Structure 1
Amino acid sequence: MTKNHRPGELQMIPIDRIEVINPRERNSRIFDEIVGNIKAIGLKKPITVTPRIGTGGSEHYLLVCGEGRLKAFRALGETAIPALVVNVNDEDAFIMSLAENIARRQCRPLELLAGIERLRNQGYDKKAICEKTGLTPDYVQGILILLQHGEERLLVAVEQGRIPLNAALAIVGAGDDDKAIQDALQDAYETGKLRGKQLLRARSIIERRQTLGRSMARGTPRKRSEVTTSSLVRTYQKEVERQKLMVKKAEFTQQRLLFIVGALRQLLADENFTNLLRAEGLETLPKYLAERVWSRGHAA
């Protein structure tokens, strides 16, 4: 902190000099509510920033807490915002931001969990992460296990409360063995870890996990295959085979239709059969069949 700031000093800080260190996406409805509240009654709680000196000696600030409020002020056309200036290093600033997100539970689950993973990667053990985030040791341990296995789909389900953490860990422990996974679900049901809707949700999550994978990634571009003479020949051959198969299916369908038409002609030539059809109200045929059974327009 520079000598111009006292610890915890409240100041009006230019918005264009504030840098967001832990950005996150925000629900548009919630953001509109923040903007509306600030416009109606003003800012109830200042944001928190920490000062830094740039390469040219100019002072700027890292945002510690209050990204939504900062964006709302910017959306309202304000050029400065009330901020509490604190003296913390980059790492502590990130941890403070993460802790606020965890406490408010308004961030997207994967963003929250990615923050826990970042703390782990920075060398913090489970106990230290618990102390800094306020989470329980069992929860942190379970989340770290899911992170290590790349189980994003299960992580989101746990954070959203769709399935309990211990059930997710049981699924991970079963690996990719379908029988082992079903046994894990059965055990979770019998021990009371999964009941009712939670069991149905767990099955749905497992099916999506098996079909779509563990990751929630979307929009990954497919690698375009290089077009060569060989690839064109293979494509042509496949198309020829596909059309040959279609011709065989058409011929087979035509043969079955001819058989049906012949059988109907023989049956309709039997007076007893036609009388039975009339009694049941079934003496008419679909136009497509009638035109073939009675080629000259004859009616029963």
Structure 2
Amino acid sequence: MARQKSALGRGLSSLIEKRDEPGRVEILELDPASIFSGTEQPREYFDEKEIEALCESIDKHGILMPLIVSGNSDGNYTLVTGERRLRAARKLGLKRVPAIQKEFKGGVALEVALIENIQRQNLNPVEKARGFQRLIEDFTYTQEEVGRVLGKSRVYITNSLRLLALPDEIIRGLIEGKISEGHARALLMITDRAAQISLFYRVVSEEMTVRDVENHARGMTEVKKDKKSSGKKVYHELEKRLAERLSTNVSVTKGKRKGRIVIEFTSEEDLHNILGYFN
């Protein structure tokens, strides 16, 4: 899909400017019931307390920043940006909301709206990561291109996407604010999902700091490495002892569920000698 690069990542000004009439933007007064949320909205979790606070602000000062919408063929509108303002307006029972209509070609509206919404500071880490993922999957962006458009490094985008690999319980806790993004990144240091979930519940119940989680995760990783290293030493020693007793090459390997001992022989006589040893 062709990208309108010049309009992406430049903020609301790129959505509302009219090049033929500099400084002049037509503000519409629309019925909230005629505006429908678009699929490009990355926000999944809306804090009711935040909506209530926004309602109080709108009730007192009005909607200071117009919504951005695009027109539909049925006379209604699709929301590009302003989901929280629209929800608050509906909750207050407002009959009209200020809006700016902006038309885009093809699927560019979805692309622009998604980027504009990702740039909002109040998205949680999971919503941002899923927004990055949509740009990559739906609009064929590379991680580097996502970072360039949003003013982030490729490493930042990569680390954000890694959050989506966490178990559902942890992702839900991150969305609900039970843990911070720092906690989540520390939990990613653990490769075992059951251990991740177990430590997550400890983080919530014991109010562990990010440093606590990092130290705990690092300790679990070191223990796992030590056990693996210790196991290899045991198998190597066993190979050596059997090879000396049987006068042939011996291999000892351990899989997830079972192990294997391979004893080499070069003749029937060797085989009889080996069998005689075990008898």
Q: TM-score band (shorter)? A: 0.5 to 0.7
Distance 2:66 2:28 in 1: 9
Which of 11, 32, 35 is the matching residue for 2:28? 11
CA drift at 1:112: 2.2
The residue number in structure 2 matching 1:144 is 161
Q: What residue is the counterpart of 2:82 in the other structure?
A: 66
AA at the equivalent of 1:12: E
Cα distance in 2 for partners of 1:201, 1:41 equals 44
Whole-Å Cα distance in 2 between the matches of residues 168 and 136 of structure 1?
Answer: 22
CA distance in 1, matches of 2:216, 2:180: 15
In the alignment, does 2:182 pair up with 1:162?
yes
Asked whether 1:126 is paired with 2:143, we answer: yes
Contact 1:98 1:112 in 2 (8 A): no
User: Which ranges of structure 2 fall in alignment gaps of 5 or more residues?
Assistant: 1-16, 19-24, 197-207, 220-279
Please, which moves more after superposition, 153-162 or 92-101? 153-162
Contact kept? 1:17, 1:60, Cα under 8 Å: yes
Provide the secondary structure at the position in 1 that maps to 2:103: coil
Distance 1:161 1:87, change over 3 A: same
Q: How far off its partner does 1:70 sit?
A: 0.9
Larger radius of gyration: 1
1:31 aligned to 51, 57, 61, which one? 51
- Separation in 1 of the partners of 2:162 and 2:218? 17
Cα distance between partner residues in 1 of 2:123 and 2:134: 16
Aligned pairs for 1:1-300 (under 5 A) are 7=18, 9-21=26-38, 22=41, 24-53=44-73, 58-89=74-105, 91-122=107-138, 123-147=140-164, 149-150=165-166, 153=170, 156=174, 160-163=180-183, 165=185, 171=189, 175-176=191-192, 197-202=209-214
**Quick one: which amino acid aligns to residue 85 of structure 2?**
R
Listed one character per residue, the Cα deviations across residues 71-107 of structure 1 (whole Å, up to 9, x for unaligned) are 1111121122110111225744344444344433323
Shift of 1:50: 1.2
Contact 1:48 1:63 in 2 (8 A): yes
Q: Which runs of 5+ in 1 are unaligned?
A: 1-5, 182-195, 208-300
User: How many angstroms apart in 2 are the aligned matches of 1:138 and 1:33?
Assistant: 35
Q: Whole-Å Cα distance in 2 between the matches of residues 107 and 75 of structure 1?
A: 21
Contact 1:9 1:86 in 2 (8 A): no
> Secondary structure in 1 aligned to 2:76?
strand
Question: Residues 101 and 75 (structure 1 numbering): CA distance in 2 closer, same or farther, change over 3 Å?
Answer: same
Q: Distance in 2 between matches of 1:11 and 1:205?
A: 54
What TM-score comes out, normalization by structure 1 length? 0.49
* TM-score, reference length from structure 2: 0.52
Q: CA deviation at 1:199?
A: 2.6
Secondary structure, counterpart of 1:162 in structure 2: helix
Percentage identity across paired residues of the two chains: 22
Q: Call closer, same or farther: CA 1:138–1:27 in 2, change over 3 Å.
A: same
Using the TM superposition, give the Cα deviation of residue 120 of structure 1 relative to its aligned residue in structure 2, in angstroms.
1.6
